[in-house]
Amino acid sequence: MIVDLPNTTTSAISKALVSIREEGGAVALGRVLTLVISTVLGEEEEAIEAANDASREHPMRVIVVSVGPDARTGVATAAPAGAEIQDARLDAQIRVGGDAGASEVIVLRAYGEAASDEEGLVTSLLLPDAPVVVWWPHVTPENPSESPLGRIAQRRITDSATAKDPNSAIERLSSNYRPGDTDFAWTRLTLWRAQLAAVLDQPPYEPVTAIQVEGAAQSPSTELLAAWLGLQLDAPVTLDLAGPGHGSSGIHKVVLHRTSGEVRLERNTPTVATLEQPGQPTHDISLPRRSLRDCLAEELRRLDPDELFGEVVQKGVTLLGRRATTDGGDRA
């Protein structure tokens, strides 16, 4: 069921939620958290779909705050000559039942001055005594933990891959990291990290003497994987960032050099990687690119700070900058 509330207020939205709950039997009981999605007007649906899918594992209330990019960044854009200043207005939409997965979705579309206070828009709609997670699918604040929504959240999820300069976004996250921050560039590495850890848990138990990581030029996950490997294995890292002519995105290959030979994990298709090890047959391994739903569901499984991510983004990225070699001399 979808209920539209044009030109409304947060008080009216709260009353509508109570009415829907009483008339239709939709309840907030069993909701384990509030997920606040801070997005751009007109770009809400992909994030809502991912949240609906993830809610089947994590029943929650989803509050979508959708404003113009200028309102979120605080950068005023001059209106064209003759254009009228947009009136302050809040349009809302409540989705429950089959239109909201196992959650209840409140979409807030704010215009004009109404878009200037995101925290005020959501405060009265948060579930009482439930953790708050904020996710920025598109436009990420310079410092998530100090942003209006970030200040009220236990976990803050960004996605540096959507930034204009993804690798610079990782650098900013490294500088501004606070416990509770995380990024989907890290979440997308789960399958890669699990496979590489499994390989190193098998004999021969030799130290890694050098590491080579290759990926697309605009892949922050490639940089984080190199930072994690360098930090955990305490070995020099060569970071090779291919240009747009390489033909594929994301991580391409990891090579671990040991005395007995090379361990090579290379993904040539979006779903399958090849694993080569000395003295063993070559294996094809399922290594698909992770969907938005998978990344969101994984991050919602833990509401405490991801200490390993914090260590990698603060220490590993810094170490990588000191000792990594990048193709063409550019940082990832």
Q: What single-letter amino acid sits at 276?
A: E
Query: Whose structure tokens read 């509770």?
Result: 180
Tell me the two tokens of residue 296.
């969101």
Q: What is the CA radius of gyration of the chain?
A: 22
Whole-number pLDDT of residue 262: 96
Query: Alpha helices of the chain — where are they, by DSSP H?
Result: 10-24, 45-55, 69-73, 118-123, 166-176, 184-187, 190-200, 220-233, 292-300, 307-311, 317-323
pLDDT tops 70 at residue 324: no
pLDDT (tens digit per residue) in 143-155: 999 999 999 999 9
How many CA atoms does the CB half-sphere of 202 hold within 13 Å?
A: 10
Query: Taken in order 221, 223, 225, 231, is the CA torsion positive or negative?
Result: negative
CB 230 within 8 A of CB 319: yes
What is the overall mean pLDDT for the chain? Answer: 87
Identify the H or E element spanning 181.
strand 181-183
Q: What percent of the chain has pLDDT over 90?
A: 69
Residues in a beta bridge with 237:
211
Taking 50 as the threshold, does the pLDDT of residue 4 lie above it?
yes
Phi and psi, residue 11, nearest 5°: -65, -45
Of the pLDDT bands very low, low, confident and very high (cuts 50, 70, 90), residue 76 is: very low
Q: If you average pLDDT over residues 39-68, what whole number do you get?
A: 93
What token pair was written down for 85?
């200043």
310 vs 313: CA distance, rounded Å: 5
Residue 184 has pLDDT above 90, yes or no: yes
Q: Is the pLDDT of residue 189 over 50?
A: yes
d(CA 231, CA 237): 10
Average pLDDT rounded to a whole number, residues 289-296: 95
Adjacent-strand bridge partners of 133 = 35, 155
| Mean pLDDT in residue range 35-44 | 94
Q: Mind listing the pLDDT tens digit for each residue in 297-315?
A: 999 999 999 999 999 999 9
Q: What is the DSSP letter of 241?
A: E
pLDDT (0 to 100) of residue 86:
60
Straight-line distance from the first to the last Cα atom of the chain, in angstroms, rounded to the nearest whole number: 45
Give the residue from 112, 41, 109, 110 showing the smallest Cα distance to 83. 112
Q: Which residues pair with 256 in a beta bridge?
A: 211, 263
d(CA 43, CA 300): 22
54/257 Cα distance (integer angstroms): 39
Residue 284 has pLDDT above 90, yes or no: yes
Provide the percentage of residues in the chain whose pLDDT is more than 70: 87
Q: What average pLDDT does the segment 197-210 reach?
A: 94
32: pLDDT confidence band, cut at 50, 70 and 90? confident
Residue 68 and residue 43 in contact, taking contact as beta carbons nearer than 8 Å: no
Letter for the amino acid at 278?
Answer: P
CA–CA gap between residue 329 and residue 332 (Å, rounded):
10
Higher pLDDT, 228 or 98: 228
Tokens in use for 4? 């539209």
Task: Give the Cα separation of 127 and 93 in Å (integer).
Answer: 17
Residues 242-264 pLDDT 10s: 755 455 678 999 999 999 999 99
How many residues can be counted in the chain?
332
Top-confidence residue, 20 or 208: 208
Whether 109 has a pLDDT exceeding 70, the answer reads yes
Following DSSP, what letter does each residue of 47-63 receive, concatenated?
HHHHHHHHHTTS-EEEE
Residue 185: per-residue pLDDT: 96
Token pair 């000559």 in the structure block, residue:
81
Please give the average per-residue pLDDT across 43-69, as a whole number.
Answer: 92
pLDDT digits 0-9 by tens, 81-93:
443 446 789 999 9
Do residues 50 and 296 touch, judged by C-beta distance below 8 A? yes
1-5, 101-105, 244-248: least confidently modelled range: 244-248
pLDDT of residue 248: 63
- Mean of the pLDDT values across residues 275-288? 94
Summarised one tens digit per residue, pLDDT across range 6-23 is 999 999 999 999 888 877
pLDDT at 330 over 60: no
Q: Which residue has the higher pLDDT, 252 or 30?
A: 252
Residue 117 pLDDT > 80: yes
Residue at 225: amino acid letter: L
